[in-house]
């Protein structure tokens, strides 16, 4: 027998009243704590991915899209820029480091990104097994990719055209035939690399070269006159199919000079007397490139040849050398099709918009919590009325005024603690569900479900308000006139 037992029994003597108070509080606490958790985790994830990247250089379009696509790898790229044009920015003395990113295709919806070792190094992302990609069509894959696809070192895979459209490649029969070989797997770094397949920029270029060649051959069948026309048709349909994908085919199709230039390179290619094109027609293209080292060398040369002029890149992640870079560089690209976006500003903008929704949700949750406190107050007050005889009786049996008010206060506190605990459970369940949903859509997982500092503060506030709500009933118990209550009126 102790005071806690009496409080506890009293609480469950009216289970419906108690359930109402507890459930209301649990929902309020659950929603707030879920929002706090999400905010915290997303912010930390966002910041980890920005990590010292001051600017992103990419094609004109929405700056936020540029950041989302190239820093977080969750949106489609804005398009491509010419390496030639980018040189003056990335070679600027104001820039300390420029990490190239060339968007390739995907494998089972995991993005293939052409880059160099600067990219993983920037995020301190170490290799867990194997090694970094070196030769074309070698890939080093992120930890989530490895886990979800089951790819192991030495495995080969064939990329599919486009991003984030899982079935498309398969349905269209539109995948590229050059297989990538997994050379290594990265450690889990909790940044975007976990979800990426990294390869050399050259590999990405070559895949697209092939795609282009193939299409050209299928459409043109060697008829030079019809080539251009057919190609245009092919590109148009392409553009419609992959709306806003920013794929370089689309760009080529839209920009005539590029297109011609690409064709020129094709011509050059055949003029050199290579049998490459003919081999391409036999559809054993890939094997040829992969196995024959001659073919490789040729392709690399080929890549280098055109590097200066028409090679394209999706974006560069830039680290500034000094602060004036942020002021000076945007001016120097004003007349190009490029833009410089600042991740810090875009993320700020995003979280402000996002924050607005969060704020509304929080207001609703606080309102629900307020209801629960009113419910606790009313249920204690009512129970006080019903229990006035037994409370007075407890006084005649030696219970002091302090004992009785403690009893009432304790009941309020127990209700608050029950509601809070249930709320925490709810928020964790909600977080797991959300995390799974996010993972399916964005490959973004939310992991940590421990008690956060914010929640401790929330608990303190909840407890305090709970005590205030039980204070009036407790004072009423304190001031009760036992003679009047127990007299035979």
Partner 1 sequence: MISLGAKVLNNAFANLLQLRIAQRSKFVAKSKGSMLSSSKVKFSYPKGPEFVFPDISCGQSEHMLIIGESGKGKTTLLHLLAGMLKPLSGSIVIDGKDISEMSDSNLDRYRGEKVGMVFQTAHFVQSLSVEDNLLLPQFLAGVPVDKEKVRSLVDRLGLSSKLNVKPGKLSVGEQQRLAIVRAVMNNPSVIFADEPTSALDDKNANEVISLLEEQAAVSKASLIIVTHDKRLKDRFPKQVVL
- Measured from the CB atom, the residue of 371 and 478 that comes closer to partner 1 is 478
- Measured from the CB atom, the residue of 179 and 399 that comes closer to partner 1 is 399
Q: Is 401 in the site for partner 1 (CB under 8 A)?
A: yes
Pick the binder of partner 1 from 16, 395, 428, 475 (CB under 8 A): 395
User: What x-and-dash track marks residues 36-55 binding partner 1 by CB under 8 A?
Assistant: --------------------
Q: Is 6 in the site for partner 1 (CB under 8 A)?
A: yes
Pick the binder of partner 1 from 399, 425, 445, 463 (CB under 8 A): 399
- Do 341 and 66 meet the contact criterion of CB atoms below 8 Å apart? yes
- Measured from the CB atom, the residue of 12 and 367 that comes closer to partner 1 is 12
Q: Which stretch binds partner 1 (CB under 8 A): 81-89, 286-294, 392-400, 429-437?
A: 392-400
Q: Which stretch binds partner 1 (CB under 8 A): 28-36, 264-272, 297-305, 395-403?
A: 395-403
- Do 25 and 416 meet the contact criterion of CB atoms below 8 Å apart? yes
Per-residue b/e over 72-101, b at no fewer than 16 CB within 10 Å? bbbbbbbbbbbbeebeebbebebbebbbbb
Q: How many residues bind partner 1 (CB under 8 A)?
A: 28
Q: Is 22 in the site for partner 1 (CB under 8 A)?
A: no
- Measured from the CB atom, the residue of 358 and 482 that comes closer to partner 1 is 482
Q: Please give the full DSSP string across 411-453, using - where no structure is assigned.
A: HHHHHHHHHHHHHHHHHHHHHHHHHHHHHHHHS------SPPH
Q: Which stretch binds partner 1 (CB under 8 A): 162-170, 175-183, 254-262, 384-392?
A: 384-392
SS3 string of 158-217?
EEECCCCCCCHHHHHCCEEEEEEEEEEEECCCCCHHHHEEEEEHHHHHHHHHHHHHHHHH
Q: Please give the full DSSP string across 211-242, using - where no structure is assigned.
A: HHHHHHHHHHTT-HHHHHHHHHHHHHHHHHHT
Pick the binder of partner 1 from 118, 390, 429, 432 (CB under 8 A): 390
- Measured from the CB atom, the residue of 393 and 413 that comes closer to partner 1 is 393
Axis-axis angle for helices 83-90, 324-332 (nearest 10): 150
Helix (H) or strand (E) holding 307: helix 293-310
Q: Is 453 in the site for partner 1 (CB under 8 A)?
A: no
| Spatial distance between the Cα atoms of 28 and 372, rounded to a whole number of angstroms | 8
Q: Is 9 in the site for partner 1 (CB under 8 A)?
A: yes
Pick the binder of partner 1 from 278, 396, 441, 447 (CB under 8 A): 396
Q: Is 397 in the site for partner 1 (CB under 8 A)?
A: yes
- Measured from the CB atom, the residue of 11 and 313 that comes closer to partner 1 is 11
């Amino acid at each position: 027998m102790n005071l806690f037992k009496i409080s506890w029994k009293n609480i469950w003597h009216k289970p419906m009243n108690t359930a109402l108070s507890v459930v209301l509080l649990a929902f309020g606490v659950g929603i707030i704590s879920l929002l706090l958790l999400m905010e915290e985790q997303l912010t930390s994830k966002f910041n980890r991915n920005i990590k010292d990247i001051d600017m992103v250089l990419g094609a004109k379009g929405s700056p936020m899209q540029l950041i989302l696509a190239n820093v977080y790898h969750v949106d489609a790229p804005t398009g491509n820029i010419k390496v030639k044009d980018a040189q003056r920015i990335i070679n600027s003395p104001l820039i300390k480091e420029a990490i190239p990113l060339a968007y390739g295709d995907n494998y089972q919806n995991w993005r293939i990104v052409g880059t160099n070792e600067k990219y993983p190094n920037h995020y301190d992302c170490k290799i867990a097994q194997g090694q970094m990609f070196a030769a074309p069509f070698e890939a080093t894959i992120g930890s989530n990719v490895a886990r979800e696809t089951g790819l192991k070192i030495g495995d080969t895979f064939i990329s599919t055209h486009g991003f984030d459209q899982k079935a498309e490649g398969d349905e269209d029969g539109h995948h590229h035939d050059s297989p990538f070989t997994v050379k290594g797997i990265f450690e889990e770094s909790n940044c975007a690399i976990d979800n990426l397949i990294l390869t050399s920029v050259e590999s990405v270029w070559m895949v697209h070269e092939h795609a282009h060649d193939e299409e050209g051959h299928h459409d043109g069948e060697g008829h030079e006159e019809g080539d251009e026309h057919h190609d245009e048709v092919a590109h148009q349909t392409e553009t419609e199919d992959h709306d806003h994908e920013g794929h370089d085919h689309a760009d080529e199709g839209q920009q005539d000079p590029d297109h011609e230039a690409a064709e020129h390179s094709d011509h050059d290619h055949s003029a050199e007397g290579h049998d490459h094109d003919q081999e391409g027609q036999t559809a054993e293209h890939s094997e040829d490139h992969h196995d024959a080292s001659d073919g490789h060398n040729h392709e690399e040369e080929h890549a280098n040849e055109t590097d200066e002029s028409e090679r394209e890149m999706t974006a560069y992640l830039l680290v500034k050398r000094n602060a004036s870079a942020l002021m000076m560089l945007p001016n120097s690209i004003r007349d190009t099709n490029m833009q410089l976006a600042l991740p810090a500003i875009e993320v700020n903008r995003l979280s402000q918009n996002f924050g607005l929704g969060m704020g509304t949700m929080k207001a609703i949750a606080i309102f629900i919590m307020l209801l629960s406190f009113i419910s606790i107050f009313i249920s204690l007050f009512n129970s006080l009325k019903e229990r006035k005889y037994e409370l007075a009786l407890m006084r005649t049996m030696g219970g002091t005024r302090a004992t009785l008010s403690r009893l009432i206060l304790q009941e309020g506190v127990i209700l608050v603690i029950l509601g809070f605990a249930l709320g925490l459970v709810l928020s964790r369940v909600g977080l797991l569900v959300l995390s799974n949903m996010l993972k399916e859509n964005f490959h973004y997982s939310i992991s940590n479900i421990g008690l956060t500092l914010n929640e401790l503060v929330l608990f303190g506030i909840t407890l305090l308000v709970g005590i205030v709500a039980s204070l009036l009933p407790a004072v009423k118990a304190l001031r009760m006139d036992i003679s009047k209550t127990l007299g035979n009126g």
